[in-house]
Amino acid sequence: MAGADTGARPKIVIVGGGFGGLAAAKALKTAPADITLVDRRNHHLFQPLLYQVATAALSPAQIAQPIRAVLRRQRNATVILDEVTGIDRAAKTLTLANGAPLPFDSLIVATGATHAYFGHDDWAAFAPGLKSLDDATAIRRRILDAFERAEVAKDAAVRDALLTFAIVGAGPTGVELAGAIAELAHRTLAREFRHIDTMKTRIVLIEAGPRVLAAMPEALSQKGRAALERLGVEVRLGKAVTACTADGVTLGEEMIPCRTILWAAGVQASPAAVWLGPETPRDRAGRVQVAADLSVPGSPDIFVIGDTASAVTKTGKPVPGVAPAAKQMGKDVARRLLARLKGRAEPPPFAYNDQGNLATIGRGAGLVDLGWIKLSGQLGWWFWGLVHIFFLIDFRNRVSVSLDWLWSYLTYGRAARLMTEGDRRPSAAPATPAPS
């Protein structure tokens, strides 16, 4: 791998500062090359705790860290805040929205995934998904605002619709959202309002499949459903959504009136495959079908990792779109590039190491599947918490999150329940309280 100019250091460009991209950048800290990381956001986000920002348990700064701060000690790394709009494979350049073409000798694409509405993109306006800090703060506004509007609603049907929350998709994100909203309504907000009873809040978790947390063993899935129902969550299985509107969500012929619908049912890849051209193989979700070394077929110097890549395990199963997989891919590509730079033999093809699945359902109910061990209940909840604190990227974040979780555990309080004046959506709701 040689630089574009005679005597120049090789240029390695990484697109995306998520788990995969950042893992690759950090693993290349000793590389005799210039590393450039491009991202349209200035921060690395710890996505597994994003739902806690959406439900007012944590603030955005507790689960995010500026990318420049993460890489500040890495002398061979440069960060560019910009958005990629195209890739010229032949010329080996990136097209940026706000800058000149960016050349590369090797490219790592780690741009993640976005929401998938299965051909119904118009539902996005009524059923937002959860992938970014902007998504989380917008959802938090919707949730908190629903209670505020219910407090002043005079019409009982309107009030009931405002106090009904529908979550579509019963994977980890959907299950954790449902549990957190239930605790917010039934514990944190109890006795804070004068004209509504938040204990009557209805949380409906909708799943087209036969069970919640389908990636976990059947026994843990059943325990997860039981924990949800203990919190008062209404679990609707085998029900596919047929419509999402401002008035509610429709399952077949049944319409559930609600003003807050949250989407956790599916994802699709970023436009990376489109940038790489029509000859790039991709799956139905738009992910690039990579070679065994995670490179793009026909372009051995271009790699795709994380949620953007369609890769398989040793057993032929798809590599899941989870943070550990993205980090493993990033480190694998980094090792491969280091071997090339130093003239060594490349490592064997990428092999995914399944580190298990974790989920939490409110206070004291965690589910842990590590293959060799399975935990649930209080023990699973403590294990889930320790793992997530450990993997937070910054020591300050670990301390802050730990203290907030302790306070929340002791008091049922939620520290991030603030709404600014510009947060509220226009409303036709009356400005005077309903009679008590």
- pLDDT digits 0-9 by tens, 291-314: 999 999 999 999 999 999 999 888
Residue 278 token pair: 């029509």
- pLDDT digits 0-9 by tens, 220-233: 999 999 999 999 99
Signed CA dihedral, 275, 281, 283, 288: sign only: negative
Helix %, strand %, coil % of the chain (to 5): 35, 25, 40
Predicted local confidence at residue 424, as pLDDT? 56
Residue 19 token pair: 């788990």
Cα-based torsion angle of the residue sequence 313, 317, 321, 323 in order, rounded to the nearest 10 degrees: -40
Q: Report, as an integer, the average pLDDT of 17-46.
A: 96
Topology (CATH level 3) of domain 121-265+357-414: FAD/NAD(P)-binding domain (3.50.50)
Percent with pLDDT over 90 in the chain:
76
Contacts of 169 (CB under 8 A, 6+ apart): 206, 207, 263, 264, 265, 266
Rounded to whole angstroms, the Cα distance separating 241 from 260 reads 15
Which band of pLDDT confidence, cut at 50, 70 and 90, is reported for residue 316?
confident
CA distances from 221 to 169, 171, 202, 297 (A): 14, 10, 22, 38
Catalytic residue from among 176, 183, 192, 229 = 176
Amino acid at 386: L
Residue 166 token pair: 């529908």
Annotated active-site residue 176? The verdict is yes
- pLDDT digits 0-9 by tens, 234-261: 999 998 999 999 999 999 889 999 999 9
| CA angle centred on 163, ends 246 and 263, rounded to 5° | 50
Rounded to whole angstroms, the Cα distance separating 26 from 40 reads 19
Q: Report, as an integer, the average pLDDT of 145-173.
A: 96
Predicted local confidence at residue 3, as pLDDT? 44
The domains spanning 11-40+82-115+267-341 and 121-265+357-414 adopt the same CATH topology: yes
- pLDDT digits 0-9 by tens, 58-106: 999 999 999 999 999 999 999 999 999 999 999 999 999 987 899 999 9
Show me where the domains of the chain are located: 11-40+82-115+267-341, 121-265+357-414
For the chain, what is the mean pLDDT? 91
Q: Which of 16-20, 109-113, 260-264, 403-407 has the lowest mean pLDDT?
A: 403-407
Predicted local confidence at residue 394, as pLDDT? 87
pTM: 0.90
Question: What would the 3-class secondary structure string for 6-59 be?
Answer: CCCCCEEEEECCCHHHHHHHHHCCCCCCEEEEEECCCEEECHHHHHHHHCCCCC
Which string of DSSP letters, residue by residue, matches 317-384? PBPPSSHHHHHHHHHHHHHHHHHHHTTPPPPPSP------EEEE-STT-EEEE-SS-EEEHHHHHHHH
CA distances from 190 to 138, 147, 185, 284 (A): 23, 11, 7, 45
Amino acid at 6: T
Rounded to whole angstroms, the Cα distance separating 75 from 90 reads 29
Query: What architecture does CATH give domain 11-40+82-115+267-341?
Result: 3-Layer(bba) Sandwich (3.50)
